[in-house]
């Protein structure tokens, strides 16, 4: 095994053993800093020589199918990785910075380490999500910042629902983050002519009950997702937004009108992950701001939610988690301050 492969294996082993979700490489003229994101926090791991980093990036770019000669444009690729008998999908992304390239790696476990019940701090919120999934038409959005567990939650929900009842389920993803049995997963690849639009037309010919669109990234995909929900199917998707109410404001900014939202939007679940400890086991569990029914309609119609009839906000949910002893005083104040910023 060459030196780049050895270094890559060591870094990945260290990251996986620390349960990191991401690896960040920050290059400087003489050395490159490596950070891991663990439990939502960015932790310094080590420095390596810039020459080592150049060899490592060339190896990883080649292995993931990127153009090793291109350093002026952003690129992305994927690698399958095995460690301790478990399968991981690595999503790589490069970014040109000051005549060099920065590299980020997202580590996506392909086997579930937590049950669906363990993903959520409050069981009634999971029950509510499952109730929404019983809808036969319309759109459900899971929102939150990068790394908040949106796609993981969607995958887990789909698997749980399919274990209870058989649905023809098709996903349109860019990229596919995890392979799931009994689901038809379509990799969007615009260079190969597989766009969201062409993928949807093909998917509809397969008589789907549920369509999952990986992420709403812009005005085009927002309109696409809502148009898909008007075809008489249940559509699931994700969106980057600070909170549940902010999701509505983002959709309106993207050009969707109130009628689009009123006709198609079933509900919004905004996710936030909190570090919790059960005995000696540290993990992260999700709390959710849930918007549906009259409260959802109220915000769509331009009315700010009032305190006395508002949904449970992240601030309220954190206070509840602290009062029940699920999170520490340090975690409560850290997450509260982070949201305030």
How does pLDDT run along the chain (341 residues), one tens digit per residue? 588 999 999 999 999 999 899 999 999 888 999 999 988 889 999 999 999 999 999 999 999 999 999 988 999 899 999 998 889 999 999 999 888 899 999 998 887 656 778 889 999 999 999 999 989 899 999 999 887 889 888 888 888 888 888 899 999 988 888 888 889 999 888 777 888 888 888 888 888 999 999 889 888 888 888 988 888 889 999 999 989 999 999 999 999 999 989 999 999 999 998 988 766 677 889 999 999 999 999 999 887 655 445 568 999 999 999 998 888 888 887 776 555 44
- CATH number for the domain that contains residue 44: 3.30.450.90
Do residue 166 and residue 213 come from a single domain? yes
Q: How far apart are CA 44 and CA 36, in angstroms?
A: 6
Q: What pLDDT, on a 0 to 100 scale, did the predictor assign at position 306?
A: 55
How many helical (H) and strand (E) elements, i.e. helices and strands, does the chain have? Answer: 12, 13
Do residue 81 and residue 123 come from a single domain? no
Do residue 29 and residue 121 come from a single domain? no
Do residue 129 and residue 45 come from a single domain? no
- Single residue among 55, 79, 109 that ends a domain in this structure: 109
Q: Read off the pTM.
A: 0.78
Residues 210 and 169: beta-carbon distance below 8 Å: yes
Q: What pLDDT, on a 0 to 100 scale, did the predictor assign at position 341?
A: 41
Do residue 41 and residue 149 come from a single domain? no
- CATH number for the domain that contains residue 291: 3.40.50.300
* Domain region containing 8: 3-109
- Single residue among 46, 74, 109 that ends a domain in this structure: 109
Do residue 135 and residue 283 come from a single domain? yes
Do residue 268 and residue 133 come from a single domain? yes
Do residue 329 and residue 251 come from a single domain? yes
Chain length of the chain: 341
Phi and psi at residue 39, in whole multiples of 5°? 50, 35
Do residue 195 and residue 317 come from a single domain? yes
**Number of compact structural domains in the chain:** 2
Closest by CA position to 25, among listed 35, 12, 15: 35
Q: How far is CA 281 from CA 19, 83, 276, in A?
A: 12, 21, 9
Q: What pLDDT, on a 0 to 100 scale, did the predictor assign at position 180?
A: 83
Q: Give the H/E segment covering residue 339.
A: helix 329-340
Do residue 157 and residue 247 come from a single domain? yes
- Single residue among 109, 127, 150 that ends a domain in this structure: 109
């Amino acid at each position: 095994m060459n030196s780049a492969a050895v270094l890559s294996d060591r870094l990945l082993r260290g990251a996986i053993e620390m349960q990191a979700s991401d690896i960040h490489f920050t290059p400087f003229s003489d050395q490159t800093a490596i950070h891991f994101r663990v439990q939502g926090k960015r932790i310094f791991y080590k420095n390596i020589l810039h020459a080592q980093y150049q060899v490592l990036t060339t190896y990883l770019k080649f292995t993931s199918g990127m153009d090793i000669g291109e350093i002026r444009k952003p690129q992305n690729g994927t690698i399958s990785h095995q460690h301790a008998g478990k399968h991981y999908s690595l999503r790589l992304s490069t970014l040109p910075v000051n005549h060099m390239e920065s590299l980020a790696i997202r580590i996506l476990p392909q086997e579930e380490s937590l049950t669906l019940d363990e993903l959520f701090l409050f069981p009634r919120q999971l029950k509510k999500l499952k109730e929404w999934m019983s809808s036969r038409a319309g759109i459900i959005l899971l929102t939150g910042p990068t790394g908040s567990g949106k796609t993981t939650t969607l995958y887990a929900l789909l698997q749980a629902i399919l274990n209870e009842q058989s649905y023809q389920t098709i996903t349109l993803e860019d990229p596919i983050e995890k392979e799931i049995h009994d689901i038809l997963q379509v990799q969007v690849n615009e260079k190969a002519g597989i766009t969201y639009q062409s993928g949807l037309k093909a998917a509809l010919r397969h008589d789907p009950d549920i369509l999952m669109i990986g992420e709403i990234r812009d005005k085009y995909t927002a309109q696409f997702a809502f148009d898909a929900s008007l075809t008489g199917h249940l559509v699931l998707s994700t969106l980057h937004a600070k909170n549940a109410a902010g999701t509505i404001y983002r959709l309106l900014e993207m050009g969707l009108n109130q009628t689009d939202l009123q006709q198609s939007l079933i509900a919004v679940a905004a996710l936030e992950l909190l570090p919790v400890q059960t005995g000696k086991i540290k993990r992260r569990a999700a709390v959710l701001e849930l918007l549906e029914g009259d409260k959802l309609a109220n915000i769509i119609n331009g009315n700010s939610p009032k305190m006395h009839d508002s949904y449970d906000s992240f601030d309220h949910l954190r206070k509840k988690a602290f009062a029940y002893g699920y999170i520490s005083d340090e975690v409560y104040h850290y997450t509260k301050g982070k949201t305030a910023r």
